[in-house]
Amino acid sequence: MNINYLASLIAVIVLFLLVYVGVEAAGLRYFFGVLLPYLAVIIFIIGFVKKIVGWAKTPVPFRIPTTCGQQETLSWIKPAKIDNPTTGSGVFVRMLLEILCFRSLFRNTKMELREGDKLSYEWEKWLWLFALAFHYSFLTVLLRHLRFFLEPVPGCVKFLESIDGFLQIGLPGIMISGIILLAALLFLLLRRILIPQIKYISLASDYFPLFLIIGIAITGILMRYFTRVDIAGIKELTIGLVTFHPTVPDGGIGGLFYVHLFFVSVLIAYFPFSKLMHLGGIFMSPTRNLTTDTRATRHINPWNYDVKVHTYEEYEEEFREKMIGAGLPVEKES
Amino acid sequence: MNLISFLKENKENILKKWFKYVSETYQTNTSNFLINKKDPFANPVGSAIMKGLSAILDAVCGLVDKKELPPFIDPVIRIRAVQSFSPSESIGFILFLKDIIREKFYKERNKENFIKELLAIETQIDEIIFIAFGIYTECREKINDIKANELKDRTYKAFERAGLVDKTDKVLQ
Amino acid sequence: MSEPRPDELIRKMEHKPHQKGWMDTPVNIRKGMYCYASNPKSVEYLGLPNARAWNPLDVDWKLPPDWQEIIHKGFRERLDKFRSFKIFMDVCVRCGACADKCHFFIGTGDPKNMPVLRAELLRSVYRNDFTIAGKILGKIAGAREMTIDVLKEWWYYLFQCTECRRCSVFCPYGIDTAEITIMGRELLNLLGLNIDWIATPVANCYRTGNHLGIQPHAYKDMLDFFVEDIEEVTGVKVEPSFNRKGADILFITPSGDVFADPGTYTAMGYLILFHYLKDMGLDITWSTYASEGGNFGFFTSHETMKRLNKKMYAEAKRLGVKWILGGECGHMWRVINQYMDTMNGPADFLEAPVSPITGTKFENARSTKMVHIAEFMADLIKHKKLKLDPSRNDHLKVTYHDSCNPARGMGILEEPRYVINNVCNHFYEMPSNTIREQTFCCGSGAGLNAGENIELRMAGGFPRANAVKHVHQKYGVNMLACICAVDRAALPPLMDYWVPEVGVTGLTELVANALIVPGEAERTTDLRGEELQGKEEAEDA
């Protein structure tokens, strides 16, 4: 057993008990249904903005992109316009591929496998695949939830749902994104627990968000497919939240919903203080988001300062005689 | 079935087990990398170990002459010679094969038939240890050689060719 | 005597004891893996803090009493000055993509050489000192206090990183361990914790203009000797000029090329090339003051890097040249390409570089005004300005090692290949995941090519050597070309240990071998004095 994931698991269980008991026994519906979500959003916004502003205010003294392809030099040598971008549009595409396709992670693993002279292939891109699956299914689930915050439900959300639910199995229809989300989460978790290298580098703060999001996904799936919840009541509450006329409908909604909502609240409040901020950081990483035309265009360092240098005069002063002896030109003859 | 044919038939399993033992001489997370990363250029250490063990096993089975062994076991010992292992750890991994074979031996009922063969195999392994010891010593000598001569080879030689040797001391200060 | 029980005959496998978490595994400074401490004289000469004799193996590192305060303040200062550092401290998700990309992890098997953990060594302190979660939750949040053991761990592992940036290629957020190592080493330098292989070259460079501490007359002597040697091989007398005012171009190369084999042959190559181009309009001078292209200050701190680098522009200005041509070097080009103009520019006293022979304007260098010799040569060859006989390199089967900094801090990948293909008939690439932007480090960069850490260098260089061995066995490759002076110093012993039949050469040496210089006698040997006629075995000198 590893203290890091144990601690995270226990933390999530404690959170679960907290809200369940709070709602079911103590009846703190308004607290968990209205106050905490508002608080969480406030913390999120302030924390997120503060962090981004903190990064943005920190200067970029040097232009240090990692060049992953041919530089732009002589006209007849084809430059790697995306991997070694000298123009803003090159950087834009590089960032787009990074953010939307996780390009570097894709590069991470390779497929060629040589044994002797045989060339065979091995699919080694699971991390990339599941990371992609996780982020996109999470995004889809998030967008689907707009249904609870907008009235009437916009067409695009309905359209998204219709794609997501294309597998018409049973009733209610299965939303494929939820299933993928849970599967990807489990993969990412098991990877951390089972692969020794990854386990070795994992901290509690790596497990905690995984358990938390797993909790969110499970409660969501339970509510959708397995238990009866009062959808109308829930929507009344969520619409109330976004229109700043919060109400807590009487009964019906059930403890499970509050668990779901509380986990989400914890997640967004926790977000700005955690590694989840890579969401913002990826846009600002100086090894990726700068052009590589460093010899063509001068980059300015706002805090550049003068330094003590050993000048030529000092140098000649020290070595003048030897220089003259060796026939080297000097500024001052002795 | 005699021991040799047992070895031949179970080569893959034996290698797998042996490789696991060897990789466990590294830290857990490293051993996992050694075992699972298949690309010989991304994981040259794991690949060198595998090739070395395989060749040794072939030699023990009599499929390869022991004289042909050095190029195969050289890389394993060469890397272990610079990986902060003690001398015995650097070459001792070869003896793990003995354990694997003895385990099999003790599981057999018919020990009397096997004992001679076992002794013969163990002698073979001992001889391979000697070869390994030779390689290990050579590696360490090479390391010391490089340590002692690198600067001289690179810089001093250039100065010497230039006839500047008498100034070298001053220059290198 | 009874028959022994089976289990008595089976050795107890001595597996490693149960492994604790990395934070609970104290650092063990091993012989062969660390470099000697900086010489106090060198530290003092540069005016850097806490100059004193100390030994990494001693318990007492003779730190100033308020060292924790110094580190904390230094950390804060760098977080405020470098967005890179701040973001890299915050956003790592420990996905593990970088873990097995580091040549030191692959070679040494030490898990703390996984790039993510190297960075976590600093991040753990960052969390403790600067984040709310770390302050409240402590170890659970991955935070730990800065103790003397942590400091020693920093020192040990930050000097087991060659700042090669291979990990940063694979990181989904572009986290660059080189950047983290650079910051970590800056912090260590605040306490006087440098290694001597860096500190003394830096002091030498500061005083005499080059790492080896070669004084001006000796520098000239050495080049004069090359002149003689060249005459012996080619029958042509070349005439380099030094510190000459009014020349068009200033040439700067690492001093390793002038003073250490086999870089010396590359230096001879430059001389031959410049001589060849002289009549075509090349007007170039060497400098004894700016006689170092390399910059070990880069491995000390940004400030030290700037102090050493400043000489390049200063000398160009003093001599009144139009632009600067740079020789083959790795980190020198990272500094020139990504730092020089920002630190010591603008070089408005220079002109945008134009090749006097081909008229090509090097647009990509129009601000920094410094051109790489491989760019310069590729342009010459493309314009058919060089008369070449590649068969003179027929005794060589060449492969090319992309040096880390030019590959990942610049992207000069095709130029050297183009040149090699024009001057050699036998060129073979190493496997694709070991070259270009994925190239494996020589294992000795960033100031680690000392003698005392040779085990580390041989282990760290193994992935590179392994790929060379592959092409050596498959194609009979016997020469490893590179465009880095540290490579030329570090790869020969690496080859000696792993693939003894392979030599090491600079790019320009190959060019000079093939270059048909007007008025030359028929060549019977290459620059190393190896017979051309026999064409059997070409042993490296």
Size of interface B-C (CB pairs under 8 A): 150
Number of Cα atoms under 13 Å in the Cβ half of residue C29: 20
Instruction: Find residues 83-142 of chain B whose CB sits inside 8 Å of chain C.
Output: 83-84, 95-96, 98-99, 102-103, 106, 139, 142
Question: Which residue among C161, C194, C227 closes a domain?
Answer: C194
Of the residues A108, A119, A124, A198, the best mutation for testing chain B's interface (the one with the most B CB atoms within 10 Å of its CB) is A124
Q: Identify the domain containing residue C438 by its residue range.
A: 201-514
Question: Residue with structure tokens 């003790």?
Answer: B106
Helix intervals (H) in C320-446: 331-335, 341-344, 373-382, 404-408, 414-423
Do C173 and C273 fall within a single domain?
A: no
Name the closest residue on chain A to residue C352, using Cα atoms.
A296
What whole-number distance in Å separates Cα of residue C488 and Cα of residue B153? 12
Do C174 and C222 fall within a single domain?
A: no
User: Which of B57-61, B90-94, B152-156, C417-421 is modeled with the greatest confidence?
Assistant: C417-421
User: What 3 state SS string does A158-217 have?
Assistant: HHHHHHHCCCCCCCCCCCHHHHHHHHHHHHHHHHHHHCHHHHHHCCHHHHHHHHHHHHHH
Query: For A38-47, B73-82, B148-157, which range has the lowest pLDDT when averaged over its residues?
Result: B148-157
Do A126 and A68 fall within a single domain?
A: yes
> Given CB atoms, is C216 within the 8 Å cutoff of chain B?
no
Contacts of B43 in chain C (CB under 8 A): 100, 106
Report if residue C4 sits inside a domain: no
Q: Identify the domain containing residue A322 by its residue range.
A: 306-334
Do C157 and C40 fall within a single domain?
A: yes
Report if residue C526 sits inside a domain: no
Contacts of A189 in chain C (CB under 8 A): none
Do A326 and A192 fall within a single domain?
A: no
Q: What is the pLDDT along chain A (334 residues), one digit of tens a residue?
A: 578 888 999 999 999 999 989 988 888 888 998 999 999 999 999 999 999 999 999 999 999 999 999 999 999 999 999 999 999 999 999 999 999 999 988 876 544 444 444 444 455 688 899 999 999 999 999 999 998 888 888 888 888 888 887 766 666 677 889 999 999 999 999 999 988 888 889 999 999 999 999 999 999 999 888 887 888 888 889 999 999 998 888 766 788 999 999 999 999 999 999 999 999 999 999 999 999 999 999 999 999 999 999 999 999 999 999 999 999 999 987 6
Residue C530: which residues within 8 A CB-CB, separation 6 or more? C395, C538, C539, C541
Residue A172 has a pLDDT of: 65
Is C114–A197 a contact, with Cβ atoms under 8 angstroms apart?
A: yes
Report if residue C2 sits inside a domain: no
Do C365 and C473 fall within a single domain?
A: yes
Q: Which of A72, A74, A277 sits opposite C90 (nearest CB)?
A: A277
Q: Is the pLDDT of residue B13 over 60?
A: yes
Q: Which of A108, A296, A325 sits opposite C365 (nearest CB)?
A: A296
Instruction: Find residues 216-245 of chain A whose CB sits inside 8 Å of chain C.
Output: none
First to last CA, chain C: 63
Q: What angle do CA C361, C367, C371 make, to 5 degrees?
A: 55
CB contact at 8 A, C58 and C36: no
Do A66 and A198 fall within a single domain?
A: yes
Report if residue C189 sits inside a domain: yes
Size of interface A-B (CB pairs under 8 A): 21
Question: Which residue among C142, C175, C194 closes a domain?
Answer: C194
Distance from CA of C261 to the nearest CA of B (A): 5
Name the closest residue on chain A to residue B39, using Cα atoms.
A113
Is C95–A64 a contact, with Cβ atoms under 8 angstroms apart?
A: no
- Residues (pLDDT < 50) of chain C are 1, 14-15, 17, 534-541
Number of Cα atoms under 13 Å in the Cβ half of residue A49: 6
Q: Looking at this protein, which amino acid is placed at residue C483?
A: I
Is C492–B79 a contact, with Cβ atoms under 8 angstroms apart?
A: no
Is A298–C346 a contact, with Cβ atoms under 8 angstroms apart?
A: yes
Do C447 and C390 fall within a single domain?
A: yes
Residue A171: which residues within 8 A CB-CB, separation 6 or more? none
Do A320 and A264 fall within a single domain?
A: no
Contacts of B79 in chain C (CB under 8 A): 107, 459, 462
Residue C11 has a pLDDT of: 57
Distance from CA of B3 to the nearest CA of C (A): 17
Do A242 and A186 fall within a single domain?
A: yes
Instruction: Find residues 57-76 of chain C whose CB sits inside 8 Å of chain B.
Output: none
Report if residue C458 sits inside a domain: yes
Instruction: Find residues 360-389 of chain C whose CB sits inside 8 Å of chain B.
Output: none
Do A294 and A320 fall within a single domain?
A: no
Is B84–C11 a contact, with Cβ atoms under 8 angstroms apart?
A: no
**Higher per-residue confidence, B116 vs A117:** B116
Distance from CA of A112 to the nearest CA of B (A): 7
Name the closest residue on chain B to residue A201, using Cα atoms.
B29
> Given CB atoms, is A200 within the 8 Å cutoff of chain C?
yes
Tell me the DSSP string of C252-282: E--HHHHHSTTHHHHHHHHHHHHHHHHTTT-
Contacts of A196 in chain B (CB under 8 A): 28-29, 31-32
Tell me the DSSP string of C476-533: ---EEEES-HHHHHHHHHHHHHH-TT-EEEEHHHHHHHHB--TTPPPPSB-TT--BTT
Q: Identify the domain containing residue B84 by its residue range.
A: 3-172
Question: Which residue among C150, C168, C194 closes a domain?
Answer: C194
Size of interface A-C (CB pairs under 8 A): 287
Do C136 and C279 fall within a single domain?
A: no
Do A256 and A325 fall within a single domain?
A: no
> Given CB atoms, is C429 within the 8 Å cutoff of chain B?
no
How many domains does chain B fold into?
1
CATH of the domain at A132: 1.20.950.20
First to last CA, chain B: 70
What is the reported pTM?
0.92
> Given CB atoms, is C506 within the 8 Å cutoff of chain B?
no
Distance from CA of A220 to the nearest CA of C (A): 25
Do A257 and A329 fall within a single domain?
A: no
> Given CB atoms, is A60 within the 8 Å cutoff of chain C?
yes
Tell me the DSSP string of C107-175: HH--GGGSHHHHHHHHHHHHHHHH-HHHHHHGGGGT-----HHHHHHHHHHHTT-----HHHHH-TT--
Q: Which chains touch B (3 or more CB pairs under 8 A)?
A: A, C
> Given CB atoms, is B160 within the 8 Å cutoff of chain C?
no
What whole-number distance in Å separates Cα of residue C261 and Cα of residue C329? 15
How many domains does chain C fold into?
2
Do C177 and C38 fall within a single domain?
A: yes
Is B33–C100 a contact, with Cβ atoms under 8 angstroms apart?
A: yes
Do A181 and A63 fall within a single domain?
A: yes
Do C219 and C183 fall within a single domain?
A: no
Do C344 and C244 fall within a single domain?
A: yes
Report if residue C433 sits inside a domain: yes
**Higher per-residue confidence, B87 vs B37:** B87
Contacts of C541 in chain B (CB under 8 A): 157
What whole-number distance in Å separates Cα of residue C46 and Cα of residue C198? 12
CATH of the domain at C153: 1.10.1060
How many domains does chain A fold into?
2
What whole-number distance in Å separates Cα of residue A11 and Cα of residue C330? 49
Do C134 and C272 fall within a single domain?
A: no
What whole-number distance in Å separates Cα of residue C74 and Cα of residue C215? 36
Of the residues A96, A112, A203, the best mutation for testing chain C's interface (the one with the most C CB atoms within 10 Å of its CB) is A203
Residue B168 has a pLDDT of: 36
Q: Which chains touch C (3 or more CB pairs under 8 A)?
A: A, B
Distance from CA of C494 to the nearest CA of B (A): 9
Do C174 and C74 fall within a single domain?
A: yes
Do A331 and A182 fall within a single domain?
A: no
Is C458–B37 a contact, with Cβ atoms under 8 angstroms apart?
A: no
> Given CB atoms, is A118 within the 8 Å cutoff of chain C?
no
Share of chain B above pLDDT 70, in %: 84
Report if residue C94 sits inside a domain: yes
Do C236 and C338 fall within a single domain?
A: yes
Q: Looking at this protein, which amino acid is placed at residue C16?
A: K
Do A102 and A217 fall within a single domain?
A: yes
Distance from CA of A292 to the nearest CA of C (A): 8
Contacts of B18 in chain C (CB under 8 A): none
